[in-house]
Amino acid sequence: MPKRTDISHILVIGSGPIVIGQACEFDYSGTQACRVLRSEGFRVSLINSNPATIMTDPEFADATYIEPLTTEFVERVIAVERPDAILATLGGQTALNLAVALHEAGVLEKYGVELIGADIDAIQRGEDRQRFKQIVRQAGGEVPESVVCRTLEEAVEFAATVGNRVVIRPSFTMGGLGSGLAGNADEVRTMVARGLAESPVHEVLVEQSVRGWKEFELELMRDRHDNVVVVCSIENLDPMGVHTGDSITVAPAMTLTDREYQRMRDLGIAVLREVGVDTGGCNIQFAIDPANGRMIVIEMNPRVSRSSALASKATGFPIAKIAAKLAVGYTLDEIPNDITMRTPAAFEPALDYVVIKVPRFAFEKFPGADPVLTTHMKSVGEAMAIGRNFTEALGKALRSMETKAAGFWTVAPMPSDDDADVDALLAQAAIPTDGRLYLVERALRAGATVEQVVEATAIDAWFVDQIALVVEIGADVRAAPTLTPQLLRMAKRHGLSDRQIAVLRPEFAGEDGVRALRQRIGIRPVFKTVDTCAAEFAATTPYYYSSYDEETEVEPQRDRQKVLILGSGPNRIGQGIEFDYSCVHAVQALRAAGYETVMVNCNPETVSTDYDTADRLYFEPLTLEDVLEVVHAERQSGDVAGVICTLGGQTPLGLAQRLKDCGVPVLGTQPEAIDLAEHRGAFGRVLAAAGLPAPKHGTATSFEQAKTVADGIGYPVLVRPSYVLGGRGMEIVYDEAHLSDYISRATEITAEHPVLVDRFLDDAVEIDVDALFDGADLYLGGVMEHIEEAGIHSGDSACALPPITLGAGDIAAVRQSTLAIARGVGVRGLLNVQYALVGDILYVLEANPRASRTVPFVSKATAVQLAKAAARIALGTTIAELRVEGMLPARGDGGDLPDDAPIAVKEAVLPFHRFRTSGGDQVDSILGPEMKSTGEVMGFDDNFGTAFAKSQAAAYGSLPVRGTVFVSIANRDKRAVIFPVKRLHDLGFRVLATAGTGQVLRRNGVRAEIVGKFSDGPGNVVERILAGDVDIVFNTPWGNSGPRIDGYEIRTAAVAAGIPCLTTVQAVAAAVQGIEELSRGEISVRSLQDLHAQLAAWRAGV
Amino acid sequence: MSEAILVLEDGRAFTGAAYGAPGETFGEAVFATGMTGYQETLTDPSYHRQIVVQTAPHIGNTGVNDEDAESRRIWVSGYVVRDPARRASSWRSIRSLQDELEAQGVVGISDIDTRALTRYLRERGAMRCGISSTDLDPDRLLRKVLAAPSMAGADLSAEVTTARPYTVEAIGARRFTVAAIDYGIKTMTPHRMAQRGITTRVLPSTSSVADVLAVGADAVFLANGPGDPASADDAVATVRELMRNRVPVFGICFGNQILGRAFGFGTYKLRYGHRGLNQPVQDRSTGKVEITAHNHGFAVDAPLDRVSETEFGAVEVSHICLNDQVVEGLRAKDTNAFSVQYHPEAAAGPHEAAYLFDRFSEMLEGTK
C-alpha cells in the first residue's frame, strides 16, 4: 500500500520540556518524523515548547511553533495552519494526552483533522488499565488481580484481599508518576491518596504485586496491512518492582528459551491487534514468575517510547522513522532497511552483541529524597553500551555513567574483602537503589554465593553469575605474579577498563601505565558494526562499537579530513539536551563544510546517536581510554584533523587536556584556555589585567581558611567546590555557623579541589551572555537578562532576550567585558559569561569557554546558529568569513537587536514533584545556586508580558486570568510586591495572604483576606491550596527549609496542586505582566519561521 | 581452558577454546542468526553434517531440558559459539549445554570472533570446515578438511531418517491420517498436525509408493531434512508417483525441494543459505508478510513472474523471501499439492506460519 495522497499537511506534536520520564528521546523520534514526512513531500507543521530540540530548528518543519503544549495553543496552531492530520504518537505521553484532550474538546472534529498513527479508541484501550486487562484476557493472556479505584475506600478494601502487597498506578500519567509499591495497609492509604491526586482523571489502579518476577519488554511495529514485527526484546536485570526507566536493562533477552520467547511474542502481537494500534510502534511489558514461568502482561504504550529509542539504537532499526512512514500509509515491506539498503524493514533484527542500558540518577541534587527505587521513575538520564558479550557491555555502561564510580573497584580505596560482612551486604543489595550492582559485586567478592545473591535480590542467576565472572577475573588480575598478555586480554574481553586494571595492579601507577603496556603488546579493541542482521547482509551504515575481538570493520576513508565530536554522555541535571543540540549542530556545519564527521557518545536518547546524524557514529563511553581508541581507529582509516571537546558540556571538556597530552589535536579553544577560565586564581588575573571587577573572593581548603576569607569579604557569601557544572554543591551562606556546616558536609576538599568563597551580590541583575570569538573579532550571540535575581542558578532562572531592562550603555559594557575576557582567556569558539549588574558596576561572576546551556535558546531567539559557527571557528574559519558566507549576519549581532524585536523568555522546568523523602513528604521546591531543573521551555512573542505568559503556560499549564492568588512574602520583599498584587486585585483576583503580608497589602488598599499559616492548624493555606481554592501562589522564601516549615509546605502544596508558584519578586512582577496580557484577550501564535523572517528583514534593512 | 582451532577449506583459521566434547570434527560451516532456540537448532536433523556457527554471542543460558529437543539426538557435526554460559538459568533447565554436548560427543569451539567468521562465510559462501581440540596444527587440520566430503551432492536423508515407521496420534478426535516421509522430521511437525486432529504415520525416507499407500493416509507430508535435493532422485520419483495417484501433498523445506523437483523445477545451492528466525516471507496471494524460521542451504529454481505448466498442471510460486527474492513456497493450481521452503512448525522460531497447517487441514477437508 503506497503513501496516502488524501492528506498533504501534517501537524506533529512534540513532547515539550525535558522532565523525568520524558527526555530527549522524543526529540530523536520527532526529528526523525519531521525529516521523513518532509522528504515524503508533506507540509509539516510542528508545535513544541522546548527550544533545546533539534526538531524545533526551523529547517525541520515548514512551520515551527514554539508555543505551549496546551489544548488552547494547539487549537490556535490548528486554526492558523489547518493541517489535514495530526501525528501525536512520537511526542511521548504529553502529545498523546494532548491528542485525547483535543478530541474530547471537539477540536479535531471542528477543524476536520484526522489523528494518524493511533486512533483515540486505540489510545484509550491501551492506556485505560481496566479495558487493557480485558483485552489481554481476550488475547489469551493473564493479568494480575486488580481493581480500578476512584476512592480511597475501594482501594483499601481490595488491597486487603491480596495481602496489601499491591502496586498503585494512577491513570494517564507518565514515567510511573504517583505510582508505588505498598507492603502494608498504611502504605496503601498514603499511596492511593497521592495517586488519586496525580491522576488527571482521579483514578488509580490497585494491582496485586508481582515484585521479584522477571521483567521483559517487547518493542513491536504494525502496519496497516496487519504486518507485525518485534523489533527488540529487552530484559530487565532488576526484577519487577523497579520502574523500567530506573532498571538496568539488557537487549536482547538473555534468559528465555525459544518457547517462552515465542509465547511472549505471540501474546504481544495478539494484544497489539486487539488494542488496534493500526500503524506504528508500541511497547508491551511482561512479568514472568521465575519459579514456574507463569507470564503476566503488565502494560502497553501505544506510541513510541523511551524504550523504543533504546531499541532503535540497540538494533539499528529506526522505530520512529518507520512509524512516521507507516502513519502516512506505507507498509513494512515497502520500506527499505536503511542499514542493509537491499532488504526491507519487514523483518526482525538479529543481534550478535549485547546491549546494556544503565540509568543515571541525581539524588545528590535533592537532599532528603528517598533513594530507594520503586515503580515511580526517578532517574534523569541513561547511558547505553554495546559489547560482544554481557561483561564487556556492562563494563562500558558502568564507566559511561559520569559518576565518581566508573565500574567496579574505581572508587578508592577499594574496600577490603576480609572484613566485609556478607549478610549485611546482601541485606543492602536486597533493596533496589542506584548502584546496587556494586553491592552485588562486593557481596560476591566477600564470599557470597550466586544463590545467596539471587535469593536476596531476585536478580536472575545468569546475570549474577556474569558479575561473579567479573569478580573472578578481577581476582585473577589482582593475584597474578605478573600481568601476562593472556590475562590482560581476558580482562579486556570482559569489559575491564585500564583504570579498573590499574586499581588491581598498583605497579602500573594508574591507567596511563596500563594503557602503555596494553598498546605496546598490541591489545586494542576492534570496531564492529550494528547492522540489524547479525552480519547476514552487508551493512552500509557506519555505526560502530568497540570490542576486544579479532576483526575490525572500520573502512578506510582518505578523501575528507575527519573531525571527532565528543557528545555529552548521559543526561543529568546541568547537562542535558542543550549540549547534544550543539554537538548535532557541529556535525551539520562540518558535514556541510566538507569534513567527515565522527560522533562519539553513549546516550541512546539523543539525536547525536542517530546513525543518520554524523557520517560515522561510535557508540562508546566518553572516557579517555575509549575516546583514544576511537581516535586510533579513525587515524588508521584516514586523516584526523582533531577532536571537538567544547560543545558537549563538562564531560568532553574534562577530557580535553588529557587528549592533548596524548597527542590528539584539540580543536577550537585549547585546554589551557579552559583551565584559565575555570581556575579561580588564573581567571582572577585575567580579569585584573583587563580591569574588570569581580565579586571579592578567595579559596579555602579548611574551615579556618574559609572563615578568614568570608570575614574579609563580608557575609553573605557564595560557597562552592571548584570545577563544577550545574552549580553542584553551591550554597549561599549567611553566617559563620552555616559556613562551618557547609565545610563539614563538603567532604571532598583537597588542595587540588578547594572551596571557592565569593561575595554574594544581593539585589543584582544577573546577565548571561553567549558569544563567539575567533582570536580577533567578537560576535555577541545574545544578552540574556535573568528574571530571578543573582543567587538562583542560571539554569533554573527564567531569562529574557533581548534583555528587558538593560540600556545601550549596559550592553556596551557587556560587549567590552566579554571581548576582554575572550581575548584574555584565549577563546576560539563559544564563550559564556555570567555577569551581575549592581548599580552601574558590571561584575564578572564566571566565564565558561564552551557551548553553554543557553546556546539553543539564543540561536532560536536571534535566528543565528551559534554552535554551527563555533564548530567552523574551531576549524579555522573566521567570524568575518562566516559573515560573508551567511552563517552569521553580514552586520550587527545579538547584542544590537532592535527595540521592537520579538522577545524570547526561557523558563526552567523543575522535577520537585517526582521526589519524596523516605517518609513520603515532598522535597522542597525552593530555588538556589545549585541547579535543579531538568528542562526548559521558551515563550516567544512581540512583547515581554505575552512571552512570559507563554513560558509559564508551557512550563506549568497556564497562568490564571481570574481566581485566587495567595501571597506570603518575606519582609525584605514586601514593598516590591504591593504594586503587582494590587494589579491582580484590580483585574478581579481574590487575594489571600498570611497575616504579615496581608497587613501590608491592606494598608495599600488591597482587600486581602487573611488565611492561617500551615502551623495555624485546620483551615490553613496548605489545605486551601490542596483543596483547589487557590490558582496561583506568590511566596518568597526566608529562613530554613524543611518539612513543617510554612514556606516549604506552601510551595510543595502548590507543586502537588499543579498551580504556578512564584518564589521571587521579579517573577511575580513578570507573571502579573503576563496575566495582564492574557486577560487582554487573544494571544496569537506565530511560527519561528515568521519570527525569524522578521529578524532577517530587519537585518537586511540595517 | 584448553585450546581448539577451526579451519575452513580455504585455509582461514581461528583459534579459540575447546567447547563441548574434546576431539575433532568436520562438516559444512554455516551460520545461524537465531537469538533463541539453540536446543532446537542442535537437535534439528537438517543440520546433520553441518558445523553451526551461532551469531548470538551467549549460548547455553537456559541450559537443556527434556521438552524442547526436536529429535532424539543432537545432529550438528560441530558447534561454534562465542561465549558459552557458565551457568544455566531456567526453571525448566535440567542440565547444562556443555554437559549435553559432551554427553553426545559433539565437538565445539568457543571464544572465537564468530562475527568475523560469519562475515567470511557470507562473502565466500558456506564451505567445509574442521574443528579440533586434539590436533592444533592448522595445516594438518586443513588437509583433513579437504579430504572430507562436500555438501553439494550429499544424500543424507538415509542417515537421519527413522529406522522404523511410528505413529503420532491426533490430539482429541482423529480427523485425518497423514503419511509423513521422514527426510529428517522434527518433533514439532507431527505435533502441529496432531493439534489439528491429524494422526501422523512417520515413515522412513526410503519408503516406496506402496509403503505410503499401505498406511491408508489421506495425504502425504514431505518433511525437512539435510543434504542436496539434487541427489534425491528416488524421493522425487516416489512423490511423482504419489501425485499421479492423486495423493494430496504438503511439503516443507527439503520437502519443498523434492516437490519442486517432482514438478520439474531445478534446485541450486545458495551461497550461504537462510538460517535464522527473522526471515520475511511474503504470501504472494495476500501480500502479507510473515516472519519465519528458516534453515535451508538449497532452493528451488522456479520462475517468479509466471505460472509454470507441469505434468501436474499449473504451478505457481506462492511465497518469496523479501530479503533476496528466493522461492519460499510452491502451489499447484490444478492438483492438491503445496509446499514451503521454511518451517511453519517453528521450533525454534515465530509461530505465524502455522496457518499453513490449517491450509493443509482445509485441503484434506476438501478432498475427503
By C-alpha distance, the chain B residue nearest A226 is: B288
| Closest listed residue to residue B295, CA positions, set B247, B334, B346 | B346
With an 8 Å Cβ cutoff, are A225 and B31 in contact? no
Contacts of A490 in chain B (CB under 8 A): none
Top-ranked range on mean pLDDT: pick from A899-903, A939-943, B93-97:
B93-97
Residue A708 has pLDDT above 70, yes or no: yes
Does residue A126 surpass a pLDDT of 70?
Answer: yes
Asked if the C-beta of A291 comes within 8 angstroms of chain B's C-beta atoms, the answer is: yes
The reply to whether B274 belongs to the active site is no
User: Does residue A652 surpass a pLDDT of 80?
Assistant: yes
Cβ-based contacts of B85 with chain A (< 8 Å): 462, 465
Looking at CA atoms only, how far is residue B89 from chain A in angstroms?
A: 6
Average pLDDT, chain A: 90
pLDDT tens digits along A597-632: 999 999 999 999 999 999 999 999 999 999 999 999
CA–CA gap between residue B363 and residue B218 (Å, rounded): 10
Mean pLDDT for A483-488 is: 96
Q: What gap in Å lies between CA A605 and CA A234, rounded to an integer?
A: 16
Percent of chain B with pLDDT over 90: 97
Chain B residues in contact with A460 by the CB 8 A cut-off are 89
User: Rounded distance, CA A854 to CA A579, Å?
Assistant: 9
Residues of B within 8 A of A252 (CB-CB) are: 35, 56
Best CA proximity match to A1034, nearest among A1055, A1065, A1006: A1065
Q: Which of B61, B277, B325, B345 to mutate to test the interface with A (most CBs of A within 10 A)?
A: B61
Select the residue from A352, A394, A460 to test the B interface by mutation, using most B Cβ atoms within 10 A.
A352
Supply A606's cell numbers.
Answer: 539523543
A199-213, B77-91, B325-339: which range is least confident on average? Answer: A199-213
Residue A7 near residue A84 (C-beta atoms within 8 A):
yes
Q: For residue B43, give the nearest of B188, B193, B251 by alpha carbon.
A: B188
CB contact (8 A) between residue A352 and residue B85: no
Written as one string, the DSSP assignment of A824-886 is HHT-SEEEEEEEEEETTEEEEEEEESS--TTHHHHHHHHT--HHHHHHHHHTT--HHHHHHHT
B17 to chain A, closest Cα gap in Å: 12
The whole-number average pLDDT for the span A1025-1034 is 89
Q: Which residue of A has its CA nearest to B288?
A: A227
Report CB contact under 8 Å: B278, A528. Answer: no
Of residues A305 and A316, more confidently modeled: A316
Q: How close B23 comes to chain A (CA, Å)?
A: 24
Instruction: Give burial (CB, 10 Å; 0-12/13-18/19+) of A224.
Output: middle
| Residue A334: pLDDT over 70 | yes
Instruction: Enumerate the residues of chain B whose CB falls inside 8 A of the CB of residue A225.
Output: 287-289
Decide if A534 and B67 are in contact by the 8 Å CB cutoff: no
Does A347 reach chain B within 8 Å, measured CB to CB?
yes
Comparing A282-286, A674-678, B92-96, B249-253, which segment has the lowest mean pLDDT? A674-678
At A1043, the pLDDT band (50, 70, 90 cuts) reads very low
Lowest mean pLDDT, pick from A99-113, A293-307, A1026-1040, B1-15: A1026-1040
Query: A266 at the B interface (CB within 8 A)?
Result: yes
Q: What is the mean predicted confidence (pLDDT) over B53-77?
A: 97
pLDDT (tens digit per residue) in A530-562: 999 999 999 989 999 999 999 999 999 999 999
CA distances from A549 to A470, A490, A492, A545 (A): 18, 11, 10, 11
| B116/A549 touch (CB, cutoff 8 Å), yes or no | yes
The C-alpha angle A724, A727, A733, rounded to 5 degrees, equals 120
Give yes or no: B253 in active site. yes
Among B87, B122, B350, beta carbon nearest to A536: B122
Residues in A closer than 8 angstroms to B33, CB to CB, are: 350, 352, 533-534, 536
Q: Does residue A33 register a pLDDT over 80?
A: yes
pLDDT of residue A1040: 45
Task: Tell me if residue B58 is catalytic.
Answer: no
Yes or no, beta carbons of A229 and B56 under 8 Å apart: no
Whether residues A350 and B119 touch (CB distance < 8 A) is answered with no
The most confident of A310-314, A371-375, A1037-1041, by mean pLDDT: A310-314
**Residue B365, Ramachandran bin (φ over 0: left; ψ between -120 and 50: alpha; else beta):** alpha
Question: Which of B253, B294, B296, B328 does the annotation list as catalytic?
Answer: B253
From chain A, pick out residues whose CB is under 8 angstroms from the CB of B288: 225-227
Per residue in A354-375, pLDDT (tens digit) is 999 999 998 877 777 888 998 8
Q: Are A254 and B65 in contact (CB < 8 Å)?
A: no
Express the helix, strand and coil content of chain B in percent, nearest 5 each. Answer: 25, 35, 40
What number is the average pLDDT over the span A168-191?
A: 80
Q: Any chain B CB within 8 A of the CB of A1098?
A: no
Mean pLDDT of the A563-586 span: 94
Q: Is residue A825 a contact partner of residue A676, using CB atoms and an 8 Å limit?
A: yes
- Decide if pLDDT at A1041 tops 60: no
* Least Cα separation, residue B36 to chain A (angstroms): 5
Mean per-residue pLDDT, B158-181: 96
Q: Give residue A980's pLDDT.
A: 93
CA distance B278 to chain A (A): 5
What is the grid cell recorded at A293? 514461568
Mean pLDDT, rounded, for A26-44: 95
* Contact with chain B for residue A449, Cβ under 8 A: no
**What pLDDT score does B249 carry?**
97
Query: Would you call A343 and B322 a contact, using CB atoms and an 8 Å cutoff?
Result: yes
Please check the confidence at residue A724 and state whether its pLDDT lies above 80. Answer: no
Please give the pLDDT value at position A789: 66
Q: Do B115 and A254 touch (CB under 8 A)?
A: no
**Which position has the grid cell 529547517?**
A59
pLDDT of residue A287: 96
| A230, A344, A351 ranked by CB distance to B322: nearest | A344
Residue A941's H or E segment, with its range, is strand A935-941
How much of chain A, in percent, has pLDDT values that exceed 90? 64
Nearest-Cα residue of chain B relative to residue A252: B35
In a mutational test of the A interface, the residue from B52, B68, B117, B119 whose CB has the highest number of chain A CBs within 10 Å is B119
Environment class of residue A1028 by beta-carbon count within 10 Å: exposed (0-12), middle (13-18) or buried (19+)?
Answer: exposed
Q: Which residues of A touch B91 (CB under 8 A)?
A: 290-293
Q: Does A259 touch chain B (CB under 8 A)?
A: yes
A248-252, A359-363, A762-766, A1053-1057: which range is least confident on average? Answer: A1053-1057
Chain B residue nearest residue A231, CA to CA = B278
CB-CB contact of A791 with A785 (8 Å): no
Q: How far is A141 from chain B (nearest CA, A)?
A: 16
DSSP state of A334: G
**pLDDT band with cut points at 50, 70 and 90 for residue A1042:** very low
Closest-CA distance, A519 to chain B, in angstroms, reads 20
Is residue A781 within 8 Å of A770, Cβ to Cβ? Answer: yes
- Which residues does residue A285 pair with via DSSP β-bridges, in sequence order? A217, A299
Cell of A428: 543492602
Please check whether residue A534 touches B, CB under 8 A.
yes
Question: What 3-state class would DSSP assign to A666?
Answer: strand
Task: For residue A262, give the nearest of B33, B119, B351 by CB distance.
Answer: B351
A vs B, Cβ pairs < 8 A, gives 168
- Tell me which chain A residues have a C-beta less than 8 angstroms from the C-beta of B297: none
Nearest CB to A252: which of B31, B35, B89? B35
- Give mean pLDDT, residues A750-763: 78
Query: Which is more confidently placed, A185 or A595?
Result: A595
- Mark yes or no for CB contact A535/B289 under 8 Å: no
Count the Cβ atoms, other than its own, within 10 Å of residue A555: 10
Nearest to A397 by CA among A623, A593, A113, A188: A623
Q: What pairing do the DSSP bridges indicate for beta strands B198-204 and B219-222?
A: unpaired
Spatial neighbors of B316 by CB under 8 A, at least 6 apart, are: B284, B307, B308, B330, B331, B333
Do the Cβ atoms of B347 and A258 come within 8 Å? Answer: yes
Which pLDDT tens digit goes with each residue over A237-280?
A: 999 989 999 999 999 999 999 999 999 999 999 999 998 888 88
The pLDDT score that the predictor gives to residue A1077 is 82
CB A351 within 8 A of CB A424: no
